[in-house]
């Protein structure tokens, strides 16, 4: 039981995450990729007049939306029963120092409270993180045709060159944000 | 039996029917997709890949953790896909498994352009489209703002699709 409460090492969690790809294929030929759900959700609530959202989202995306619902439930279960009291993510000391230099005081919990609580939405930093961050993730993943799960894991596992280019883009963008833009906007 | 009733009661019954349709008559029950998701949500949280901290650590090259998770996930996924391809395994419902290729484009603009924009968002928000849902379930309720923004971004892509280079 102790093991369940500790963070799981990469060599345990990583392979289990990787098993999702063959599992979904075996369950019904489904490709592992989560950003498509954002499209299905748009098609469900606000298709507008756009061709991109005019399709049977229940038929195409029903399984994936259920998968995402499961992820939400999994997040709930793990946070409720599988986290110790006073949990702090054991990131490297150097990262801790960098984040403090960015102006974050509270580095406890799953997410920094200075960026991911409702009250920080009134600060420029919180608003940019949640609204602009979310927007770029949504726009970028759809333009690129996939996100971390669809390109970096599923796409590379099926040996696709487009996915390799997309993953290089993910890293280029992430490095640019982390090292150049974050220090400017935080 | 009772678990199935509670699971289905929270989702649109029409969606469940359509889901069963799409996967054929002997398809895996929708509840299997929910269960696979639950497992993945737990894994996202227990591996800490959904935390903003780990993403920052990764983009600063200050620990191996994220690289270990992604590389080992990719390794197992690749072996699984190769086994399915070489052994010509069929899906649970007996249908052949077809893995579509990503569309290739002349300069791959959508991949490096869209990929870079996604990366900018990933570096800022620290959560990609899977972890967003796990974080919401884990009680970070403000993630609904990020999810709504991600939907807005997706919507804008839908609106601009014909005008964007791919």
| Residue B87 in contact with partner chain A when CB distance is under 8 A | no
Please give the pLDDT value at position B3.
Answer: 37
User: What tens digit of pLDDT does each residue of A5-34 get?
Assistant: 899 999 999 999 999 999 999 998 999 999
Is pLDDT above 70 for B10?
no
Q: How far apart are CA B144 and CA B133, in angstroms?
A: 9
Q: Is A183 on the interface with B (CB under 8 A)?
A: no
Q: How far apart are CA A61 and CA A36, in angstroms?
A: 8
Instruction: Render pLDDT for A90-116 as a digit per residue (tens, 0 to 9).
Output: 999 999 999 999 999 999 999 999 999
Mark yes or no for CB contact B118/A141 under 8 Å: yes
Start-end of H helices in A82-160: 93-101, 124-127, 133-144, 156-157
pLDDT bin (cut points 50, 70, 90) of residue B27 is: low
**Three-point CA angle B79, B82, B84, nearest 5°:** 110
Q: Where exactly are the structural domains of chain B?
A: 103-166
B89 vs B113 pLDDT, higher one: B113
A104 touches chain B (CB under 8 A): no
Q: Do A14 and B123 touch (CB under 8 A)?
A: no
Q: Convert the pLDDT of each residue in A34-88 to its tens digit.
A: 999 999 999 999 999 999 999 999 999 999 999 999 999 999 999 999 999 889 9
Lookup result for tokens 């799409």: B22
Nearest chain B Cα distance for residue A180, angstroms? 11
Give me the DSSP letters along B89-150.
Answer: -B-TTSPBP--PPPPP-SS-HHHHHHHHHHHHHHHHH---HHHHHHHHHTT-TTHHHHHHHH
Q: What's the pLDDT score for residue B12?
A: 56
| Cβ neighbours of A42 in B, within 8 Å | 151, 154-155, 158
| Contact status, residue B63 vs residue A91, Cβ threshold 8 Å | yes
pLDDT in tens, B86-106: 998 888 888 888 888 888 888
Question: What pTM, to 2 d.p., does this model score?
Answer: 0.90
Mean pLDDT score of chain A = 94
CB-based contact A157:A163 (threshold 8 Å): no
* Closest approach of A129 to chain B, Cα-based (Å): 5
Which whole number is the average pLDDT over A110-135? 94
Distance CA B74, CA A54 (A): 33
Q: Which of A103-107, B19-23, B37-41 has the least mean pLDDT?
A: B19-23
Is the predicted pLDDT of residue B69 greater than 70, yes or no?
Answer: yes
CB contact under 8 A, B16 and A132: no
Does residue A53 contact residue B157 with C-beta atoms inside 8 Å? Answer: no
Task: Give the pLDDT confidence score for residue A107 in this predicted structure.
Answer: 96
Size of interface A-B (CB pairs under 8 A): 547
ipTM here: 0.96
pLDDT tens by residue, B136-157: 999 999 999 999 999 999 999 9
The pLDDT confidence band at residue B132, using thresholds 50, 70 and 90, is very high
Looking at residue B9, its pLDDT comes to 44
Is the per-residue pLDDT at B8 higher than 90? no
What pLDDT is recorded for position A4?
86
d(CA B107, CA A89): 40
Q: Give the count of beta carbons closer than 10 Å to the beta carbon of residue A125.
A: 16
Chain A neighbors of B38, CB-CB under 8 A: 70-71, 73-74, 77
Residue of B104 and B119 predicted with greater confidence: B119
Q: From CA A90, how far away is CA A107, in angstroms rounded?
A: 10
SS3 content of chain A, % helix, strand, coil (to 5): 70, 0, 30
């Amino acid at each position: 039981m102790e093991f369940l409460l500790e963070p799981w090492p990469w060599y345990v969690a990583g392979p289990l995450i990787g098993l999702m790809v063959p599992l979904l294929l075996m369950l019904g030929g489904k490709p592992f990729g989560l950003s498509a759900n954002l499209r299905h959700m748009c098609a469900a609530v606000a298709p507008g007049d756009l061709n991109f959202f005019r399709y049977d989202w229940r038929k195409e995306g029903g399984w994936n939306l259920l998968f995402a619902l499961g992820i939400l439930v999994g997040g709930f279960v793990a946070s409720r029963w599988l986290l110790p009291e006073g949990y702090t993510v054991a990131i490297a000391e150097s990262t801790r120092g960098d984040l403090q230099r960015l102006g974050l005081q509270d580095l406890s919990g799953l997410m920094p409270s200075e960026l991911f609580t409702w009250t920080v939405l009134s600060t420029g930093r919180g608003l940019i993180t949640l609204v602009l961050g979310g927007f770029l993730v949504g726009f970028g993943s759809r333009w690129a045709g996939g996100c971390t799960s669809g390109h970096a894991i599923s796409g590379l596992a099926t040996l696709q060159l487009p996915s390799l280019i997309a993953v290089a883009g993910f890293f280029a963008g992430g490095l640019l944000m982390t090292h150049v833009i974050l220090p400017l906007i935080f | 039996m009772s678990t199935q009733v509670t699971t289905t009661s929270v989702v649109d019954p029409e969606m469940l029917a359509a889901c069963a349709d799409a996967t054929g008559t002997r398809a895996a029950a929708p509840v299997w997709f929910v269960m696979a998701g639950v497992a993945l949500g737990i894994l996202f949280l227990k591996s800490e890949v959904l935390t903003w901290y780990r993403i920052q650590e990764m983009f600063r090259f200050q620990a191996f953790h994220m690289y270990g998770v992604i590389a080992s996930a990719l390794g197992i996924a690749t072996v699984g896909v190769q086994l399915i391809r070489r052994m010509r395994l069929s899906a649970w419902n007996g249908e052949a498994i077809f893995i579509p290729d990503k569309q290739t484009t002349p300069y791959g603009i959508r991949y490096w352009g869209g990929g870079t924009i996604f990366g900018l968002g990933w570096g800022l928000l620290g959560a990609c489209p899977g972890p967003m849902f796990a974080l919401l379930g884990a009680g970070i309720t403000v993630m609904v703002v990020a999810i709504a923004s991600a939907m807005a971004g997706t919507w804008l892509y839908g609106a601009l699709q014909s005008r964007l280079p791919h």
